[in-house]
Every structure is written in C-alpha cells, then in structure tokens.
Amino acid sequence: LYKTFKDDKYVYMLLEVCLGGELWTLLRDKSQFDDMAARFYVASVVEAFSYLHGRGIVYRDLKPENMLLDSHGFAKLVDFGFAKKIGFSNKTWTFCGTPEYVPPEIILNKGHDFSADYWSLGILIFELVTGNPPFTSNDAMKTYNIILRGMDVLEFPRKVSKNAGNLIRRLCRDSPTERLGYQKDGLHDIKKHKWFQGFHWQGLVDRSIQPPYKPK
C-alpha cells in the first residue's frame, strides 16, 4: 500500500502492481513444484507471517490464490479480509477461511490464534508439492469432516519428500499447542526445520536470490 486518497464518496488505495498473477495459476500450469520452488514460496509466507504475528495480527486465509507474483517472480501475500488483530496470548472465535485450509479448532469453534496460520502453512506446502490440498471434497461440510480425521491418517504420495512430509505433519497437529511455531522460538523453529536447510533467508528479504520462476 503506497498511498490512500478519498473523495466525498470513495476511499482509494494505491497498491503495488503484481504483473505475475496468482501463484495458483502458476501451480496449475506446472501441476506441482519441486522442493526448491516450494521452499521459496513457503519461505515468503513465513516472512510475511513473522511481520504480521509480530504485530499481533493473525492472517487466516492462506492459499495459492492469495499469493501474487511481482514482475521479478517474488511472492506477495494479499487479501487481508479475514486478517484480525488479536494481540498476544489471545484467541478469536470467528468462523472464517477457505474450507480446505481451515484448522480443526475453527471447525469446532474452540477459539484460535496464530497457530491457525501454522496449520494453513502445512496445507500450503502439501498443495505446492503435490498440486492439490490434502483435505478436499465438493462439499464444504464433507471437507471439514475429513479435516477432523486428522493429518496422521493420510498416506502421503511418493512425490512428498521425507523432510517436506515431516514439516507438514509437525505443522498440522490437531492440537494447536503442538504445532511447530507455537513454542517460544515461534516461526524461527519453522525456519530451522531440515526442509529449509541451505535456504538463504536474508537473500529472500533483500531480494538478492533468484526466484524459481520469472513471469513472462
């Protein structure tokens, strides 16, 4: 967001243009991403979550459709319609999110916090490396029932690497307090996971690394 304007009828927001389109479109074209490409996009989300959570904001609507690519191929998190400032050590009870990405505690109306974003991060990894989310149905209620069975009952496809699978399962624990990222080191624990071994985090922040795909 660069600037805002208003007149007697409207408020205008001047936003950065992202000519690369949605990550979802690129995923459909490629069918799936290898670990190197998936790491880049997931790391971008981790950095975005670090910024948001550090300011007491939970995002709650992660999915490839809400990630836009700029002209260089760097990913931007967009659509903050479900984002909410909850502060720290607080919960919120709004039922929201995309069905395939909703964690159990939202479905069961138990209240949720930043750990809901950690769950959705695990779902995103699965979708990026396989091409589809792990829990899906043509009916939202059926999808919720599948989610409540848990991640542990799923047998991952062979295309999911050992380290990716481990990270997905650690992020998608039924109990929010057991999810990687919930402990005292927060998102830093996710950054230290073996799946990210060798990833240049500072290079992502200062945009000195090469994105896996550059929009044409």
CA quadruple 29, 34, 36, 40: dihedral sign: positive
Is 10 inside any structural domain?
Answer: no
Q: Where is 77: in which H helix or E strand?
A: strand 75-77
pLDDT digits (tens, 9 = 90+) for 16-51: 889 899 999 999 999 999 999 999 999 999 999 999
Give the pLDDT of residue 176.
98
Q: Is the pLDDT of residue 9 over 90?
A: yes
Is 5 inside any structural domain?
Answer: no
Active site residues: 61
Q: Is 202 left (phi over 0), alpha (psi -120 to 50) or beta?
A: alpha
Is 216 inside any structural domain?
Answer: no
Q: Which whole number is the average pLDDT over 202-214?
A: 97
Is 9 inside any structural domain?
Answer: no
Is 198 inside any structural domain?
Answer: yes
Give the pLDDT of residue 168.
99
Q: Is the pLDDT of residue 216 over 90?
A: no
Task: Name the β-bridge partners of 92.
Answer: 112
Residue with tokens 């009952």: 153
Percent of the chain at pLDDT exceeding 90: 96
Range(s) of the domain holding residue 146: 18-206
CATH number for the domain harbouring residue 181: 1.10.510.10
Q: How far apart, in Å, are the Cα atoms of 71 and each of 28, 47, 59, 76?
A: 19, 19, 24, 11
As for how many domains the chain has, the answer is 1
pLDDT digits (tens, 9 = 90+) for 161-176: 999 999 999 999 999 9
Nearest to 44, CA basis, from 20, 28, 10: 20
Q: Which whole number is the average pLDDT over 53-74?
A: 98
What 133-138 contacts at long range (C-beta under 8 Å, 24+ apart), as own/partner pairs, is: 133/100, 133/101, 134/168, 135/100, 136/100
pTM for this one? 0.95
